[in-house]
Structure formats: structure tokens, C-alpha cells
Amino acid sequence: MVRAYARSSSPKESIFIYNAMRRNGVSPDNYTLPVVLKACSRMLCARKGKEIHGVSFKFGFEFDAFVQNSLISMYFVCGMVENARKVFNLIPDFVRDVVSWNSMISGYLQSGFCLEALEMFGCMCVEKSVSPNNVTVVGAVNACAKMGNIVLGKMIHGFVVASGFVVLDVYLGSSLIDMYAKCGFIEDSRNVFDGMFERNAVCWTAMIAGYTHLGLFKEAIELFREMQLVGVKAMDATVACVASACGNLGVLDQGRWVHAYCDRIEIGMNLNVKNALIDMYSKCGDINKALEIFNELVQKDVFSWSVMINGLAVNGNSDKALDLFSHMESLGGVRPNEVTFLGLLSACSHGGFVDKGFYYLNSMTKTYNLTPRIEHYSCMIDLLGRANLLIEAEKFLRAMPMEPDAAIWRSLLFSSTNNRNVELAEYAAKQILDLEPRKCGGHVLLSNTYAAASRWNDVKRVRRNMGVCEIRKQPGCSFVEIDGDVHEFFVSDTSHPQTHMIYETVFGIYRFLQSERYVMDALDCFESATTQD
């Protein structure tokens, strides 16, 4: 009865049954106490957990690994990390088993103490009293992923191979894929993925999520297609990643297919998936479909509201975005976060609502006690710049409580360029070059500013300096979706198998327009620029 209630939706009843058991003079054994401790964990009831800890001594279970491991887990879940460590330290070496070590490693990891989790793994390997298993290694790999420590991650991968673990185990393999992707080593992720003989939905999702995390959206969609061809049924998390990739590429047909796929295989469509679909439709420009999904949500979390507010903002519906936030406030129940206010400030920027922008920035700190991040200040700079309030933008920038990054200076430089304020553009460009001397963005924007002011000698000087410093302008890139396939093009790109037909069509359009007596100076400039690149 204690165990049944501990697993049910009413874990409190488990404790009531345990108390009745004690009142009736029935002594608990080493199976009873771990179950009650599980109920305490689910209720976050540390006080009762401590009581059970005392009972464990009374009945002589201080050397019982099952009970002591349950105590460790309970203390970690209740946020009492030091207590968990004390319990572990008091377990004699001859009693500690691999579950004891795993409980400590996973507990540290879930509590955000990644370094301590890795130190525990190291101690386990040094002592050699207990051999780590796959669960142990998965915990250590996940700690490396959270810390972004690729060096230690590769060492643990080497340890796995040298120790004869089943590297191709789906859970260990998925953790390695995730670790390499989060550290930016996507090729190593793919090598692990390709080397696995058995791959379940978790492995495929880890690889797709890795591509999406690193901005390789086309690769994520292609891998999802492969997943369908081999007959692996996607999970909710898989669909959320692929929908995000479709949104970032702006491939609406692909996104619609993913949505239809969810309906066809009857995926649970949890809130995360629906939020991802709202985001995808918003980014692809189908704001009405995004609103339809949003309005159908029975439960809306803060991300649902935030992504819808931002979607309305980027699609030019700034008024509707602000109205939606007001509706959110009036309903109560969901507290806005930093992302929500980022969408609001973006809406103000797109709508030119300067006063409202300052109102929401103040509301963020005074009403909701949230600390603005540098992204929020960047939105304000953009808002002031779009309103041609460059002096106010500069003053706001200097009054910021943090050092502006290159993104904020770029925003000011872009606004200065649009408003042909050469002096301010030069100042902003200098700051960007100090922060990012090897990147081309500041040079190009400054060159455009000089060109807009017909200062051609300065244009040549900037371009010449880029050549001396061997800074090359990144080629422009665009995506085109045709019949569900995504085609990627760079400047002067000839890699497409239908390149000859594409160029022939473009010049056919050019000749037709010439015959209709349209002036095509822009196309001449395009030909000149692509030849130079």
C-alpha cells in the first residue's frame, strides 16, 4: 500500500499509510523506508525525510545500501546537497555500490554542480572499489556537455572505449552525440551517430537537436527525412527540433508537412511541440495559422505567450502584440519573463513606439523585478535609431549599467548609416573594430555609410584596409524552397546541378525587360559585384 500510493498521484497517502503502520506496531524494513523516502522526494518534504533518516538508524539500516542510496536521492531532490554528501561519506566502503556513486553524480548534475559531479566520477575511477557502469558514464558525459568541456569529454570518451563499454548503447551514444554538439564539434557527433549499430528515436533526436543547436537547419531537416525512411517514429522532442529548423529556414511547406506528420502518426503534441509550431508559422509568415494554434491551447505557459507576442511583432502586428501582452496580464496566472519583454521591445521597435518601449523597460524592473539583459538594451538602441533619435540612442548607450557589446554598436552603426550620420557611424564602427577586429561587418557597414555620403575615397580606404588585414566579406546566402526541397545559394554560386538553367533564366528575364525598355542598372551592378567576389 505504501509503495502503491508513493507511485500514485497522491504520494501524501503513502506517508499516512506509513504512519498508520507505525502506530499499529509494525516495524518497517529496508524495502519500506526507500518507498517512503520516494514519496518525500515527490512532495519535497525534507522534514519527513529527515525523520525517516533517524528511523533508519533506530532500526539498524545505516549500513544498508538500498536505504542509504534512497536518502542521498531524497536530499538532492529537496535541495539539501550537503546532507546528501554527508550521507554518502558515512557509507562504509564495503557497503557503497555503483548506485551510491551514480546517485551522487546524477544528484550533483541535477542540482547544477557539474564540476562536483565530474570530481565524483574521478574519485570513483581512482578508488577502483566499484567499477562505473553505463549510467555512471552517461552522467559524466552530460556534466561535460553542460560545462562545454570538450577536452574532458573526449577523455571520458576515450575511457569508455578503453574500458570496453558498449559505446553503441543508445543512451550512452545519445549522451556523446549531445556532448559533442553542445561543445560545437558536430562532426564528432555525427561520427558517434554513424558508428551506432542500434539507433532509437532518442539517438536520432539527439543528432537532429545538435544540428539545430548549431544553426545547421538544412542538415537537421535532411536527417529527419532519413529518420522517416528507416521507419523510426519521431518523439515530441524530435518534432519540436525539426519545426524550429523549418522556422529558422523559413521553409513553410516543410513546416506544414511536419505539422501534418504529427497528426498522421498521432504524436501527443505536447505544449513544447505546439509552441514550436507557433514559432515556426510565425517565422514563415503564416501568422494566422500561428494564432489559430495559439488560441486552441487549453494551457498556455510563458513561452506560448512570448513566442506569439514576438511572432506578431516580427510580422508587423506591433499593436496586436502589445494588446496580447495586456490580455496576458489581465488573465494572471502566467508571469512574463525576460523573453516576453524582449518580444515586447521588439514590437515597440517595429512599431516605432518609443514611449511604450521605455514604459515596458521600466515595468520589467519595477513591476516584475526582472533584470534587463544586454539584448533588451540592444532593442532600445534599435528603437531609438529607427525613430531617428540618434543623440538619445547614444546617451542611452553610455548610461547602460553594462559594457555594450558588438551587437549594440552594430545596431547604432546601422541606424547611423540609415540616417547618414557619418560622424556617429565612424565612432560606432571604431568600437566594433576594437571588439571584433577580424570580422567584416563593421567594415562593410562603415563603407556603406561613406558610399551613401558620396565619400568614395573613404570607401576605397576601408576596402583597402580590409585587404591589407586579409578580412574577406562573407558571401551572401539565400534559401529557396521548391516542392519541399531546400536549395541553398551563395554569391557567384555554381555548385547547383541546374546552375546553367538558372543563369540562363535570369539573363532571359534581363533581356525581356530590356526589350520592354526597363533600365536595369541594378542588374549591371550585380554582375560587376559577383565578378569581383
In this prediction, residue 268 carries a pLDDT of 63
Average pLDDT of 400-414?
83
451 and 502 share one domain: no
All 3 cell numbers of residue 416?
Answer: 547611423
14 and 66 share one domain: yes
Alpha helices (H) along 332-399: 338-351, 354-366, 374-386, 390-398
In this prediction, residue 520 carries a pLDDT of 46
Encode pLDDT of 342-365 as tens digits.
999 999 998 989 999 999 999 999
- The rounded radius of gyration (Å) of the Cα atoms in the chain is 29
Q: What distance in Å separates the CA atoms of residue 223 and residue 305, rounded to the nearest whole number? A: 30
In SS3 terms, 448-466 reads as HHHHHCCCHHHHHHHHHHH
385 and 470 share one domain: yes
Encode pLDDT of 6-18 as tens digits.
998 889 999 999 9
Encode pLDDT of 298-328 as tens digits.
889 999 999 999 999 999 899 999 999 999 9
380 and 472 share one domain: yes
Q: What distance in Å separates the CA atoms of residue 48 and residue 71, rounded to the nearest whole number? A: 11
Residue 50 three-state SS: helix
Instruction: Classify residue 417: in a domain, yes or no.
Output: yes
Encode pLDDT of 68-81 as tens digits.
999 999 999 999 99
Instruction: Classify residue 250: in a domain, yes or no.
Output: no
Question: Does position 229 have pLDDT exceeding 60, yes or no?
Answer: yes
Encode pLDDT of 156-189 as tens digits.
998 888 876 654 578 889 999 999 999 999 999 9
Instruction: Classify residue 14: in a domain, yes or no.
Output: yes
Question: Does position 41 have pLDDT exceeding 70, yes or no?
Answer: yes
Instruction: Classify residue 19: in a domain, yes or no.
Output: yes
Nearest to 156 by CA among 174, 168, 169, 143: 143
Beta strands 485-490 and 477-482 are antiparallel
pLDDT band at 474 (very low <50, low <70, confident <90, very high): low
As beta bridge partners, residue 480 has 487
Give the end of a domain, one of 96, 123, 144. 96
In this prediction, residue 466 carries a pLDDT of 64
pLDDT band at 408 (very low <50, low <70, confident <90, very high): confident
38 and 51 share one domain: yes
505 and 415 share one domain: no
In this prediction, residue 407 carries a pLDDT of 83
Percent residues over pLDDT 90 in the chain: 53
Instruction: Classify residue 447: in a domain, yes or no.
Output: yes
Instruction: Classify residue 528: in a domain, yes or no.
Output: yes
Q: Alpha carbon of 179 to those of 176, 209, 262, 533: distances in Å?
A: 5, 11, 28, 37
Instruction: Classify residue 60: in a domain, yes or no.
Output: yes
Q: What distance in Å separates the CA atoms of residue 387 and residue 336, rounded to the nearest whole number? A: 27
pLDDT band at 498 (very low <50, low <70, confident <90, very high): confident
Contacts of 195 (CB under 8 A, 6+ apart): 167, 168
Instruction: Classify residue 72: in a domain, yes or no.
Output: yes
Question: Does position 447 have pLDDT exceeding 80, yes or no?
Answer: no
2 and 62 share one domain: yes
Residues 328 and 305 sit within 8 Å (Cβ to Cβ): yes
525 and 466 share one domain: no
419 and 517 share one domain: no
In this prediction, residue 532 carries a pLDDT of 42
What is the amino acid identity at position 273? V
Residues 218 and 225 sit within 8 Å (Cβ to Cβ): no
pTM confidence score: 0.78
In this prediction, residue 470 carries a pLDDT of 53
> Which 8-state DSSP code applies to residue 496?
S
505 and 445 share one domain: no
Average pLDDT of 483-487?
68
All 3 cell numbers of residue 237?
Answer: 522532442
Alpha carbons within 13 angstroms on the beta-carbon side of residue 177 total: 28
In this prediction, residue 457 carries a pLDDT of 77
Average pLDDT of 382-394?
87
Show the domain range for 47: 1-96
417 and 504 share one domain: no
Give the number of domains in the chain: 3
Average pLDDT of 230-256?
91
Question: Does position 196 have pLDDT exceeding 70, yes or no?
Answer: yes
Encode pLDDT of 512-533 as tens digits.
887 766 554 444 444 444 444 4
